[in-house]
Amino acid sequence: MNIRRLALVATPFALLVIVLGAFVRLSDAGLGCPDWPGCYGQLHVPQDAEEIARANVAFPDRPVDVAKAWIEMIHRYAAATLGLLILAIGALAWRQRREPDAVLATALSLVALVVFQGLLGMWTVTWQLKPIVVMAHLLGGFGTLALIWWLILRQSPSAAAWAQGEDGRLYRWTLVGLAIVVVQIALGGWTSANYAALACPDFPACQRQWWPEMDFAEAFVMWRGLGTNYEYGVLDYAARTAIHMTHRLGALAVLLYVGWLTVRSACFASARKVRIAGAAVGALTLVQIGLGIANVWFYLPMSSALAHNACAALLVLALVTMAHGLRPTGTGA
C-alpha cells in the first residue's frame, strides 16, 4: 500500500476522531476513564461486578460510569488506530525519501503531531480537563486531518496548481482565511472547554441584551496552575458570557472575510477549479454559521453540536484544498 492509499484510509479516521472527541466533551465523558492510557487500570472498560468493585476501590473519587467510560475508550481506540496509520505513513515516507516526489517533511511533521496529540490526550485526563489542553487537543486533531489531506493532494495525479494569471493572488488571501478559521476553531474549543456554549441562550441578542455583563479579564486566563478539576467549568457567568460573545464575534469575522473570499474566487477567478472551491468554502461557511445559531436556539442538541464540529473540519479541508491548488509553483511537500 502506498502513502496516498494509507492517507485515504486515515482521513475518515481523523474526521471520526474529531467528531468522537466532540461527543466525549458534549457527553461530559472526558474523565469517564480517570487514568491514561487504560481505563481504571486496564485496557478495557470495567464490565462485571468484580471489575467495577476493584475500580471503585482504586479510584474512590471517580466511581465507574460504564456508559461514559465506553465513550472515552472508543475515542481512544479510534485515536490509537489513526496513530498506527500515521506511523505507517511516516515509515513509508522514510523508505521513499530519495524519490523525486518524496513527502518526507510533511509525513514526519504528521508523525510528530500525532505523538504530541497523544501527550495532549494524556494531559487532558491527568490535568482534569484543563481548558488550554482541551483546546490544544482539538486544534491538534484539526491539524492532523489537514496534514493528512495535504499529503493526499500532494500525491494526487492532478496535483498541478490551478491558478491562472491574477488568480495566484488568491493564495495568500486563502491562507489568511484559513488562519481566521483556525482561530475561530480555537475559540470554539475554548468555549466548549469552559462550558460556555449556552452562556447566551438566545440569538442574535445575548441574555436579551446586545452587550451583557462580561468579564474578559477572567475569561481568557490560559493557565491557572495544576490540581484543579475543570469538569463542568470553574468560571462565573460573566466570564463564560465573555467567552461566548468572543466566539460570536469571531464567527462574524469569519463570515465577512470568507464571504469576501468566496465572492472573489467563485465569481471572478479565471480557473474553473478555483471557482468551485470558492463556492464550496462559502457554502460550508453558511452551513457552519447556521449550525452555530441552531446550537443556541435549540440548547445545544447533540446532533447539531456534532455537525458543527464536522462542518468545521470540512471547511478546513476545503480551504486547504483551495490553498493547495493556488500555491505558487514549487511550493509544498
Q: Choose, from 72, 213, 218, 231, the residue flagged as catalytic.
A: 72
* Full DSSP string of 72-115: HHHHHHHHHHHHHHHHHHHHHHHHTTTSTT--HHHHHHHHHHHH
CA 47 – CA 40 distance, rounded (Å): 11
With 0-12 / 13-18 / 19 or more C-beta atoms within 10 angstroms meaning exposed / middle / buried, residue 330 is exposed
DSSP string for residues in 57-73: HH-TTS---HHHHHHHH
Residues 6+ apart with CB under 8 A from 184: 247, 250, 251, 253, 254
249 dihedral zone (left: phi>0; alpha: psi -120 to 50; beta)? alpha
User: For residues 174 and 307, what is the distance between their CA atoms, to the nearest angstrom?
Assistant: 24
Asked about 213 being catalytic, the answer comes back as: no
Catalytic residues: 72
